[in-house]
Structure 1
Amino acid sequence: MAQHTQGTEPAPRRAPSRLQTVRARILGAVLALAALGLIIAGGVAYTAQRAHVDDRMDQSLMRSLEEFEALAHEGVHPATGERFTSSDDLVNTAMRQTVPAPHEGMVGFRAGRAQWIAASPVPLRLEDDEVLMDALEPLTTGQKVVLREITTPRSSYRVLVVPVTDGDVPSALVLAFDRSAEHAEFDQVFRTYAVIAVVALLLIAGVGWLVAGRLLRPVRLLGQTARRISDTHTSERIPVTGNDDVSELTHAFNEMLDRLAAAFDAEHELLDDVGHELRTPLTIVRGHLELMDPDDPEDAASTRDLALDELDRMHRLVDDLMTLATAGSPGFVRLEETDLGRLTDDILDKARLLGDRRWTVDARTGATAHVDEQRLTQAWLQLASNAVKFSAPGTRITLGSSVRDGRIRLWVRDEGIGVSPDQLERIFVRFAQAEREPAFRDGAGLGLAIVSAIAGGHEGRVEVSSTRGFGSTFTLDLPLDPGHAPPVPEPADHGSTGGAPVVPRPPLATTTETPLTMEIPVTSRARQGERTSL
């Protein structure tokens, strides 16, 4: 049983939510790092300060112990003026002379029971915490000074127990800090820090949102512009501001748009050219086939010859269009080391087959260069073919090659009809031909466009000087090493005797400069049996 499959359309692209945008993610990362930094800094400071508070309490208790020992060894009873002989009197006197800190309390023990309490102004009443009293009882009957932390349901205490022995009845002075109260004051400071940290994070969020939006505005414009780009709308560009990575991205995006626009223009131009130029031969062939009498052998043969001729012309046209279509691609020119002297000889050998002319060479360089030999041969022979096409039989056509100041010059000079000054720009445009007599109009007008494309592929240009009725000189001006070539000099803005005015047109250029002509008898390799077929 046949099974029918139904194609599924791709799901429409979902717009990212505000929480998924780059702006939100950058802001989230900044806030997370800021919060982490505040938490780490606050946590470290909090831990260190809590330890400092405990140290401060211990230091205060130890100073009290030193004062108590000094009183026991060197002090006198306030009432008698004599040295202390009773532990009860010593503890009682010490408690009267001690001024506790705000969260410090004290109590005196005798025989394990609370015997003396602090004066009423002392806020911390140790005797009110029964659990604490029970924990202190065994400590007060010992023989050693004790400094420890005691935690009860009411609070946590830092306690110093100083035992005093007098006969069989032990006494003890107990000093204690309310550790929880001390830490509570300190915690209040860090609660304030936490509030300030939250406010700081909110400020960072607000400022970060604005800054991220400003920095990412070119990126948003990239997306908006990319969505508006089509093959018929490529003029959008993004304004570049600043000198950072985003600006470089904007530069690169605008350059990509330039390349896309050039590609679209080339595609449209190619389609227009193909449609325009192929329509005519197709119409001619169709018209003759429709009018042909199949029963008339002479008419059929004539129509066949015409159709084949038109098909040949279409084939040549398609080849030329394909050459121009690939002119901007990276592989259009393939550079390799080439002997320019040998190339000059090869061109002369091939050019001599193009027509009955007096072929001469007025300069021949022996240098080598990094060029595409096949493309240069195609361009140079195209110039030679044009020279034959627009000159009379028996006239002289001169070829030449030279290297000067790191640049190659390859030229073809004829004694033909020449080109008028107002046509110098036009002859390099696709399908455009100079205004000439109908006898000289042949071809599709792509030859010089191909020559110009090949010169541009070598980072060079085409120069032309011409005088109406006296001939023309076409010169390929190329760098000796493309990619490391010095800047192309501006064409000379002056004329010469009988020369045409300069019409600059990068990468094409026209000049009236004429190379020094020294006619050299042709001794080509064709006469030595080394001719290369055309």
Structure 2
Amino acid sequence: MVLSSIRFKITLWYMLILGVTLLIFSVSVYQNFSGNLYGDLDDLLQSKAEGIVRSINTYWQAQEMDAAKEGSRASAAEKKDRENFLRIVRQWAQERSDDAKIPAAAIQIFDRDGRKIAASASAPDALNIPLDTLNSALEEEDDFYDFRPEGKKALPLRVYATPIIEDGKVSYIVQVASPVNQVYAALDNLKMNLLIFLPLTVLITGVAGSLLAKLTLNPVTDMVKTIRQITAENLKLRVKIPGSRDEIKKLADTFNDMLAKLESSFYAQRKFIQDISHELKTPLTILKGEFEVALQRIRSADEYEDTLLSSLEEVDRISKIVDNLLILVRFDSQEIPFKFQPVELKQLIQGVVNDISVLSNSKNIMIDFTDSDPLPLTADESYLRRVFLNILDNAVKYTPESGAVSIALRAQEPYAVIRISDNGPGIVPEELPHIFERFYRGGSSSRAGSGFGLGLAIAKSIAEAHKGRIEAQSRLGQGTTFNVFLPLFF
């Protein structure tokens, strides 16, 4: 459980990224430090070589002065005289190579042919000038290289060779070598420190990161505890909103929005069940009562016929409720196979007016359909007829006798707008927002208690399935107006 937690994963990724970053940083530091140490050692060797050349030249000049005092010929001390030069260099190596003014190092001097002329006592016998280095010297180029003597206790050397140029030619080659044990020791010390402190740093920061992740995710833990307490009976419970303005706050807000929607959905479901139970209970009670009365004694054929006809009316009522509910359920699940095709709206509404005329004529209600130009659109004709039939049925039903219902049709891009108005009792403002809810029949207006309360809900669902909408305005005592908006291009 712990290994699969977000906290563990965040900490693990944090330690991994930190470890890789520190590893790259350590390698970079090690390489840079190593380069600096070798650079410093190379500078030291170069400085030593320059000091040796100056010392040899000084020694040479001293020999010249001594020769002049003794009355020797000048040529005896000239560098052009190779034998004299070799003699003086060897003499310098014996007398001055260990001079305190010259930094300690293994010193070797070679001629142009790579033969060793002289060497300090500290220079190993196995150290000679490599052929590549000799060629570089003859081309008047300096060279650095590493030399590892044989033997377990032998220390590796860093070697610097530089040619001495006189009269435009290489006169001799000075080679200086120094042990690199101090460089190795410094690098080993750095390596050991990095190997100790890098894992330790990752471990300490990992622990700190784990604690930080725990503090960060504490609100999520509280949310989980709250959510586990939520059931169908206490949907009013809400997740505590943290004071931060981060993603966790957004998550808490989202959960609370979801809970509000669930609460509304559960409430609607309960109300739906209560409403349908009430709607079905009435006709079923009537059916049961009529059957019980009919069975109390033997009746005439006419009485049985009346009972059956009354029962049939209640069965039709139940059947109509069930059919309407099935339509709404299919709309909710989006399972209705619409057959969209070109429809001439004016002709369709005229047909609905003709169908409703039986009901309107019985109440002496005049339906005024304002003539308009043909208005074609794409729709499912059978379902669209039901929209206007339900609205007109309501209008005629709630309009008093000898009243009037008007229908107006117009194009208002991008919609076709159908306006249906009656001069009935109207709807109180508090009930107007609820008239499209299922089984809602109002409580204070004269519309209350009539019908099933499903007709406008079905009309609204059909309009929305056609990417349209229905709006209602009403003034108490003056009537109600429905505006149906249907897209001209669907």
TM-score (norm 1): 0.64
Pairs within 5 Å for 1:248-397:
252-293=254-295, 296=299, 298=301, 300-325=304-329, 339-356=344-361, 357-362=365-370, 364=372, 366-368=374-376, 374-391=382-399, 395-397=403-405
Q: How many residues align?
A: 433
Q: How much has 1:271 moved relative to structure 2?
A: 1.7
CA contact 1:147–1:158 (8 Å) conserved in 2: yes
What residue number does 1:201 align with? 202
Change (3 A) 1:49 1:423: closer
Identity percentage over the alignment? 19
CA contact 2:239–2:252 (8 Å) conserved in 1: no
What residue number does 2:140 align with? none
Instruction: Please give the alpha-carbon distance, in whole angstroms, between the structure 2 residues aligned to 1:473 and 1:368.
Output: 27
What residue number does 1:157 align with? 156
What residue number does 1:181 align with? 182
Instruction: Please give the alpha-carbon distance, in whole angstroms, between the structure 1 residues aligned to 2:326 and 2:183.
Output: 90
Is it true that 1:23 corresponds to 2:4 in the alignment? no
Deviations 1:216-252 (A, max 9, x none): 5665566445544443443435638777666665555
Alignment partner of 2:156: what SS?
Answer: strand
Change (3 A) 1:399 1:267: same
Instruction: Please give the alpha-carbon distance, in whole angstroms, between the structure 2 residues aligned to 1:452 and 1:477.
Output: 9
Instruction: Please give the alpha-carbon distance, in whole angstroms, between the structure 2 residues aligned to 1:107 and 1:197.
Output: 42
CA contact 2:407–2:420 (8 Å) conserved in 1: yes
CA contact 1:95–1:106 (8 Å) conserved in 2: no
Considering only aligned residues, what root-mean-square deviation do their CA atoms show, in Å? 4.7
Deviations 1:501-521 (A, max 9, x none): xxxxxxxxxxxxxxxxxxxxx
Bigger helix fraction:
2
The counterpart of 1:137, out of the listed 125, 135, 138, is 125
Instruction: Please give the alpha-carbon distance, in whole angstroms, between the structure 2 residues aligned to 1:365 and 1:199.
Output: 86
Q: Which runs of 5+ in 1 are unaligned?
A: 1-15, 118-125, 127-132, 163-171, 484-534
What residue number does 1:37 align with? 21
Q: Which runs of 5+ in 2 are unaligned?
A: 68-76, 78-84, 110-115, 135-144, 162-172
What letter corresponds to residue 342 of structure 1 in structure 2? Answer: Q
Change (3 A) 1:230 1:401: farther
Alignment partner of 1:311: what SS?
Answer: helix
Instruction: Please give the alpha-carbon distance, in whole angstroms, between the structure 1 residues aligned to 2:445 and 2:54.
Output: 128
Instruction: Please give the alpha-carbon distance, in whole angstroms, between the structure 2 residues aligned to 1:371 and 1:338.
Output: 6
Instruction: Please give the alpha-carbon distance, in whole angstroms, between the structure 1 residues aligned to 2:430 and 2:30.
Output: 87
